[in-house]
Structure 1
Amino acid sequence: MFQLFEEFKDKEILSYYKDNLEKVEPEFAYTLQEYKDGLLLFELMQQKIWNQSSKDTLGLKNFFEANLNSYKTKELKKIKGEVMNDYQLFLEKNWIADLKRKSTIEVNKKQLKKLVKYYKKK
């Protein structure tokens, strides 16, 4: 009976630890948040850049025509992949510029100092 109780207790302690790992291990919490932020950024870029560039054939054609001097061949069909890549970079640059115009960036100086101190140790 005692052994069963010990096994149950160990199992519950481990389960509690796993459920509260973010609170117990700050480095794990930071890594997990970084992962979530990365997924969010990936999803945004997929919506704002990659999906738009593959659906917006008129925009791609207009971009190609506006930048004809950048390409050796003047046939879009032959270099569509290269033009699409350039168009995606163009969309990304414009999206970031738009975000900068619309958003105010505030830096928490206390957190910044902690980050600087943390990375200087590594």
Structure 2
Amino acid sequence: MRKTYCIIIFSLTFASAFAQNVASINGKPVGSKEFMWVYQKNHYGAGNAAFKELEDYLNLYLNFKLKVLDAIEMGFDKDTAYLTEIKNYEAALRSRKKISNSKATYSMIMNEYRNAVLMFNISEIKVWDKSQSDENQLRDFYEKNKGFYKESSFEDVKGKVITDYQEVLEKEWVDTLRKKYPVKIYQEELRKLAKL
């Protein structure tokens, strides 16, 4: 009887922990608390959001996390310049009198910063440098999509072409990452977070 009771408690605890996740990437959970902290931080503390708005933001957040995962797979988290930057940021954060309300918040702030730097570093290589370093590829993209630029010359719309090309490179990169690392969204848990 006691063994059965323990198994039931364990099962309920595991199910409860699992239900607290809004998604998973490659089997690793993305917690509701983490997601809502990021959502509210980037929406000026707003806690009321419709399901569709949360779903759209979750997909953006998952794309961000996929890029971070790619950076880690490529060893960017071991780079000495990266490690020094993180160490300096943490020292600056700790020197503030009010760093956070709790250890959990402090941990989320540090995690967000680590991930943001990784995402920035890998995006620079995979998207931004690529779109500006190869003039031939950029001109080729312009020629294939000339109709979108209203008969303007390449030189006149080069900035727009770079931006558009970056969007294409990023979309292709994210599509590749979503194929490489399975992503699951737990719709029911996300619905629980929606207020409207």
Which structure 1 residue ranges, 5 or more long, are not aligned? 1-17
Counterpart among 46, 61, 66 of residue 144 in structure 2: 66
Following superposition, the deviation at residue 67 of structure 1 comes to 0.5
The letter for the 1-side match of 2:133 is K
**TM-score, structure 2 as length reference:** 0.42
Distance 2:184 2:166 in 1: 28
**TM-score, structure 1 as length reference:** 0.65
2:175 aligned with 1:97:
yes
How many pairs are equivalent? 95
Counterpart among 55, 78, 84 of residue 133 in structure 2: 55
Higher relative contact order (CA 8 A, sep 6+): 2
Quick check: which has more Rg, 1 or 2? 1
Moved over 3 A (4+): none
Counterpart among 101, 115, 120 of residue 42 in structure 1: 120
Distance 1:54 1:67 in 2: 17
CA RMSD of aligned residues (A): 2.9
Which structure 2 residue ranges, 5 or more long, are not aligned? 1-93
Identity of aligned residues (%): 29
Which structure shows the higher helix fraction? 1
CA deviations 1:20-79 (Å, max 9, x no partner) are: x9xx71210111101110111111111100001111212111111110110113410111
